[in-house]
């Protein structure tokens, strides 16, 4: 576990299933995340088009110019697109019942979460409000990823997201982090 002397555990360790708690802005060390992204081959010096793409709300696929996909594809590289899709489907919880129309919610939520993180880290001037918003969105995705009412008590104060907000399986974030920070080998 990475420990910062002044803060205790930092992102993403606070979201590991054995110690899960809501993420707070002081957990987000952007210099550390940028360093780990660089080691993993994730690009954070993105084109204006990629920044514009990441600022969109929707994420339908990696090619839709109206969504977040093209920006995320530029950051992670085309060679990681299919492996990210495969990982997100592999990490979906098969025991969690979802509406038919929303059967891929957690896979979509994982892609949205990766886009949220890349958007924050690639921002040349991330404000405290943007970091706070990233934490809230992450916490909402995690809270929604638990079966109805089964989230840890520490998430009780996390505001409920909009019903269409995509969830993530609670244990997926450390696995997605490893995917992003490990040099890609095919």
What are the tens digits of pLDDT across the range 28-84?
999 999 999 999 999 999 999 999 999 999 887 888 888 999 999 999 999 999 999
Torsion of CA 83, 110, 55, 62, to 10 degrees: 30
Quick one: average pLDDT of 130-134? 96
pTM of the model: 0.86
């Amino acid at each position: 576990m990475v420990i910062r002397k002044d803060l205790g555990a930092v992102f993403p360790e606070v979201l590991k299933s054995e110690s899960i708690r809501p993420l707070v802005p002081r957990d987000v060390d952007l210099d550390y995340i940028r360093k780990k992204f660089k080691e993993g081959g994730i690009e954070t010096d993105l084109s204006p088009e990629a920044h514009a793409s990441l600022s969109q709300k929707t994420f339908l696929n990696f090619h839709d110019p109206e969504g977040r996909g093209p920006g995320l594809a530029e950051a992670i590289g085309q060679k990681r697109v299919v492996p990210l899709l495969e990982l997100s489907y592999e990490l979906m919880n098969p025991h969690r019942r979802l509406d038919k129309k929303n059967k891929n919610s957690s896979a979509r939520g994982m892609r949205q979460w990766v886009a949220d993180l890349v958007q924050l880290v690639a921002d040349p001037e991330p404000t405290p409000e943007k970091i706070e918003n990233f934490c809230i969105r992450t916490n909402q995705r995690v809270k929604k990823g638990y079966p109805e009412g089964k989230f840890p008590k520490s998430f009780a104060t996390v505001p409920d997201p909009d019903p269409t907000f995509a969830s993530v399986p609670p244990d997926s974030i450390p696995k997605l982090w490893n995917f992003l920070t490990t040099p890609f080998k095919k």
